[in-house]
Amino acid sequence: MAEFVQLGDRMVEVQLAGRGIRDRRVLKAMAQVPRERFVESGFEEFAYEDGALPIANAQTISQPYIVALMSEAAELKPADKVLEVGTGSGYAAAVASRLAGSVHTIERHADLARIAALRLAAQGYDNCVVHTGDGTRGLPAEAPFDAILVAAGGPTVPNALKSQLAVGGRLVIPVGAREDEQSLLRVTRRSEAEYDEETFGAVHFVPLIGEHGWAEDGTRAASNHIPGRTRFRSLPEMIGAAIEPLPALEDPAFGALFDRFAQCRVVLLGEASHGTSEFYQARAAITRHLIEKHGFTIVAVEADWPDAAAIDRYVRHRASRGSGERPFERFPTWMWRNTDVAAFVAWMRKHNEGKPTGEPAGFFGLDIYNMRSSIAAVLAYLDGVDPEAAAVARERYGCLTPWQREPSTYGRAVLTEGYRKCEAEILRQCQDILKKELDYAASDPDSFLDAAQNARLIASAERYYRIMYYGGAESWNLRDTHMFETLGHILDAQGPRSKAVVWAHNSHIGDARFTEMGAVRDELNIGQLCREKFAEAACLIGFGTHTGTVAAASDWDGEMEVMQVRPSRPDSYERLFHDAGAASGFLEFRRDESLRRCLLEPRLERFIGVIYRPSTELQSHYAEASMPQQFDAFLWFDETHSVRPLGPEHRPSGVPDTYPFGL
Active site residues: 62
Rounded CA separation 605/10 (Å): 27
Full 3-state SS string of 177-199:
CCHHHEEEEEEEECCCCCEEEEE
DSSP string covering 447-508, please?
Answer: HHHHHHHHHHHHHHHHHHHHHHTT-SHHHHHHHHHHHHHHHHHHHHHH-TT--EEEE--HHH
User: Which candidate, 105, 220, 227, places its Cα nearest to that of 153?
Assistant: 220
Give rounded-to-5 percent helix, strand, coil for the chain: 45, 20, 35
DSSP class per residue in 357-379: TT-S-EEEEEE---HHHHHHHHH
212/631 Cα distance (integer angstroms):
41
Which residue, 542, 555, 567, 558, is CA-closest to 612? 555
Q: How far apart are the first and last CA of the chain?
A: 68
Q: Which long-range contacts (CB under 8 A, 24 or more apart) does 169-173 make?
A: 169/144, 169/145, 170/73, 170/74, 170/75, 170/146, 171/147, 172/70, 172/73, 172/74, 172/147, 172/148, 172/200, 173/148, 173/149, 173/208
CA angle in degrees (0–180, nearest 5) for 242-534-22: 50
Phi, psi values for residue 83, rounded to 5°: -115, 125
Q: State the Cα–Cα distance between residues 321 and 381, nearest whole angstrom.
A: 10
Long-range contacts of 210-213, Cβ-Cβ distance < 8 Å, separation of 24 or more: 210/108, 210/134, 210/135, 210/136, 210/137, 211/134, 211/136, 211/137, 211/160, 212/136, 212/137, 212/154, 212/158, 212/159, 212/160, 212/161, 213/136, 213/152, 213/154, 213/155, 213/158
Q: Contact 565/551 with Cβ under 8 angstroms?
A: no
- Cite the DSSP H helix spans in 108-174: 110-122, 159-162
- Of 527, 522, 495, nearest to 510 by C-alpha is 527
| Beta-ladder partners of 500 | 266, 298
Other beta carbons less than 10 A from residue 226's beta carbon: 11
644: left (phi over 0), alpha (psi -120 to 50) or beta: beta
Residue 476 forms beta bridges with which residues? none
Angle between helices 422-435 and 445-468 (to 10 degrees): 160
- Please classify residue 325 by burial: count the beta carbons closer than 10 Å to its beta carbon, then call 0-12 exposed, 13-18 middle and 19+ buried: middle
Check: CB of residue 104 under 8 Å from CB of residue 96: no
Phi-psi label, residue 460: left if phi above 0, alpha if psi -120 to 50, beta otherwise: alpha
Angle at 637 (CA atoms; ends 635, 638), nearest 5 degrees: 135
Where are any strands of DSSP class E within 114-163? Answer: 128-132, 145-150
**Backbone phi and psi for residue 34, each to the nearest 5 degrees, phi listed first:** -75, 100
Question: Distance (Å, rounded) from C-alpha 284 to C-alpha 69?
Answer: 39
CA dihedral sign, ordered 70, 73, 78, 79: negative
Q: What is the DSSP letter of 207?
A: B
